[in-house]
A = this chain, B = another copy of it.
């Protein structure tokens, strides 16, 4: 690889320093380091276009990088090449409150956008927990706790600017709320994990900050009762803003991590958005369902501070659960099933984990049928690690058997490509044909997603 043309373009913004390469070869997942050969820090779309033309000319692999918070190794460089880090493309370009839209560069994080929106009465709702970049969230079709109400990135990206493998710059979508003019390229790039192009600009849908917000947590004696309460709530059409499940093991992790004294049993954590009267009505109806399902009393988080504390607890669930077994090699899972099969999926998974002898707290965005088990095998035990991978494979098979998907929100990256044939069959070949049409040399994020 001859990086001279890139160095001429970017100067000191092309890095080959060992610490920078090491940083961009790590992930939050269980994969070994896979560093790129260089890291580029472009500042403009034109530079990204030049970078791609230069890399295409030499067949250099190109991998996009947001904040590195992927849980499936999306941004690792198993074949080396150039990592394009969007840290310097982090401007909010335009906010149009009257159209409830924001145009941003890909390196803007969701929290940075929401800080900028605070005075407008609007917010961007998609919340995967981590303060991920919006470009990365679009590339991986992220979702999280609020998707049950506001949708995933699929629903909240209106338009994109994308640089293709050959350096061409295209725009997908318009600022109109809907359109029926041809193929939905926006939806094609959202979730394409950097294999079809690099996103250099996003137009995002904003939502009105609700007049009233209230959150609560309540305990259940057993997992099935909690999951049944979720299913009934969703089927009854209550517009929950969040409805999260945590099992007893996760609560023990919360207690240890945050110095709490919660009962170590399954809990639901919920949030209601609406008018003051609307929120009261939702909370009342949800309360009736919880009571019917044998749930305990609500602990309300009425103030913004109390709510922030509640959701910080939930968002730190991953780290809290990891801390349960400091000597573990954690393996994160992420399946999503039709809501009618949720109780079955969670119960079978819990039983399978219990039988394995490996710690595996379960938590998830159950309003969408989506949950995670964080499997915690001892990092020095190849047998336990193999057991954990077998558990994860059985979760994936279970999701497919129940009509669901092997990934609700974490994406494929390096970890889940192996399930693509089972989930998509011949449709996976179609994805391969689309990839070949737009990136015939296969320079964009090679080794990921495709056959």
Enumerate chain A interface residues (CB-CB to B < 8 A).
Answer: 96-101, 140-143, 147, 152, 154-155, 164, 168-172, 174-185, 187-188, 190-192, 196, 207-208, 231, 235-237, 275, 277-278, 281, 336-340, 368-370, 399-400, 403-412, 416, 419-420, 423-428, 430-431, 433-434, 436-438, 449
Contact = CB atoms under 8 A, between A and B. Distances in A.
Contacts of A407: 179-181
B235 A100 contact: yes
10 contacts: A96-B340, A98-B231, A170-B430, A177-B338, A178-B370, A179-B407, A180-B410, A184-B184, A187-B187, A433-B437
B177 A336 contact: yes
Nearest to A340: B98
A181 B421 CA distance: 11
Given A181-B412, A182-B449, A183-B431, 7 more contacts: A174-B404, A176-B338, A176-B405, A176-B408, A183-B434, A183-B449, A184-B188
A175 B404 CA distance: 6
Contacts of A180: 140-143, 152, 191, 405, 407-412
Contacts of A426: 168-170
A425 B182 CA distance: 12
A405 B437 contact: no
A284 to B, nearest CB: 11
A235 B340 contact: no
A57 B428 CA distance: 24
Chain B CB within 10 A, most for which of A96, A191, A425, A449: A191
Scoring A171, A182, A338, A370 by chain B CB atoms within 10 A of each residue's CB, the highest score goes to A182
Contact of A182 (B207, B428, B436): B428
A430 B164 contact: yes
A427 B438 CA distance: 11
Nearest to A370: B178
A416 B182 CA distance: 10
Nearest to A183: B431
A424 B182 contact: yes
B174 A405 contact: yes
A99 B164 CA distance: 38
Sorted nearest first, the 6 A-B pairs with minimum C-beta distance are A187-B187, A437-B437, A179-B405, A175-B403, A208-B237, A176-B404
Given A181-B406, A182-B420, A182-B431, A175 B338 contact: yes
Given A281-B278, A368-B178, A408-B178, A339 B99 contact: yes
Central interface residue in A142, A169, A408, A410, by most chain B CB within 10 Å? A408
A414 to B, nearest CB: 14
A210 B190 CA distance: 32
Nearest to A423: B181
A183 to B, nearest CB: 5
Nearest to A175: B403
Contacts of A281: 275, 277-278
Contacts of A403: 174-176
A275 to B, nearest CB: 6
A177 B434 contact: no
B184 A96 contact: no
B183 A192 contact: yes
A116 to B, nearest CB: 19
Contacts of A174: 400, 403-405, 423
Contact of A336 (B179, B185, B370, B400): B179
A426 to B, nearest CB: 5
A170 B427 contact: yes
Given A368-B178, A408-B176, A185 B427 contact: yes
